[in-house]
């Protein structure tokens, strides 16, 4: 399911002057909602797949095959370009090449590859990252593996989280020279750092505007003015959904009724409109004969 046109569309939007706002989606339904509301792209994070498929936090247990399976359904359900988390490529440079080919074949328009060593370790504040040399080789391997030059390679570095900003910037520019199309420096925690990355990294930039981060204090428009190309909101939708589900379920448990929480539940017409029920009915009428007495 190669999406050559969508890949080109996504690449063009990245290079437009206007910042590309990318919500994180977690299934086909949320992706359809994002598209219907007017977003031009959406992002599938490994954390969201882990939450929805396994019911656990992103501790490195989700496999790339599970992400690809999840992504295929989402791509099939939507018309906007979808890009996805690829962790560290799930291994060495050879694994990266297979992962890139599989992601591209699934109809995704881009992959985010980071420099973490898997499995992740959450008991320590620092992050173990691979050497600059190994990172460079993996980016080159990713670039060489893609079928379509417009399939986007996004490099995410944890250098700032684990070491310092100088390390993150150095790694970013090495990755760009190796062929990365977009750079994402994780863990920026001051406006000075945000501005410095925009000034010193010579590539289109993605920035996470996750609500728990310092960057959430800015609007996407402000990030655009600073020189960023993609504003990512990776887990906003799923956290908002879970917040509301929790409230409704608690009320249902306590009152054994939905009488007092109907205003928190989407009405049936809008619900099925997002799911294209009317289109399904029209298609059914077109192909399936019905007799009046049935």
* DSSP bridge partners of 116: 129
Domain 4-235 CATH (choose: 3.20.20.60, 3.10.105.10, 3.40.50.170, 3.40.390.30): 3.20.20.60
Residues 37, 23: Cα–Cα separation, whole Å: 11
pLDDT digit string, tens, across residues 257-287 = 999 999 999 999 999 999 999 999 899 888 9
| pLDDT value of residue 123 | 53
Residues 134, 151: Cα–Cα separation, whole Å: 22
| pLDDT value of residue 293 | 47
| pLDDT value of residue 292 | 56
Low-confidence ranges of the chain (pLDDT < 70): 119-127, 162-163, 291-294
Residues 209, 286: Cα–Cα separation, whole Å: 46
Parse the chain into domains and list their residue ranges: 4-235, 241-287
Of the candidates 18, 222, 7, which has an alpha carbon nearest to the alpha carbon of residue 108? 7
Confidence (pTM): 0.93
Of the candidates 161, 209, 203, 210, which has an alpha carbon nearest to the alpha carbon of residue 183? 203
């Amino acid at each position: 399911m190669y999406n050559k046109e969508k890949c080109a569309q996504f690449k063009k939007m990245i290079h437009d002057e206007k910042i590309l706002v990318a919500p994180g989606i977690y299934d086909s339904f949320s992706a359809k909602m994002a598209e219907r509301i007017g977003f031009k792209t959406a992002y599938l994070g490994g954390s969201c797949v882990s939450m929805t498929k396994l019911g656990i936090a992103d501790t490195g247990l989700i496999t790339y095959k599970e992400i690809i399976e999840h992504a295929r359904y989402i791509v099939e359900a939507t018309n906007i370009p979808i890009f996805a988390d690829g962790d560290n490529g799930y291994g060495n440079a050879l694994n990266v090449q297979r992962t890139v080919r599989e992601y591209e074949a699934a109809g995704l328009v881009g992959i985010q590859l980071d420099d973490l060593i898997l499995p992740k370790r959450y008991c320590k504040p620092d992050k173990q990252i691979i050497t600059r040399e190994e990172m460079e080789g993996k980016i080159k391997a990713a670039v060489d593996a893609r079928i379509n030059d417009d399939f986007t390679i996004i490099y995410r570095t944890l250098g700032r989280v684990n070491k310092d900003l100088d390390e993150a910037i150095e790694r970013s520019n090495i990755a760009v020279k190796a062929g990365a199309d977009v750079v994402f420096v994780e863990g920026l925690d001051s406006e000075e750092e945000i501005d410095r990355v925009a000034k010193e990294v010579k590539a289109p930039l993605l920035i996470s505007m996750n609500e728990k981060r310092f960057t959430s204090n800015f609007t996407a428009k402000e990030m655009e003015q600073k020189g960023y190309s993609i504003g990512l909101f990776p887990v906003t939708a799923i956290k908002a959904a879970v917040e509301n589900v929790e409230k409704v379920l608690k009320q249902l448990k306590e009152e054994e009724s939905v009488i007092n929480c109907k205003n928190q539940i989407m009405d049936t017409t809008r619900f099925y409109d997002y799911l294209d029920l009317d289109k399904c009915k029209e298609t059914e009428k077109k192909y399936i004969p019905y007799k009046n007495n049935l």
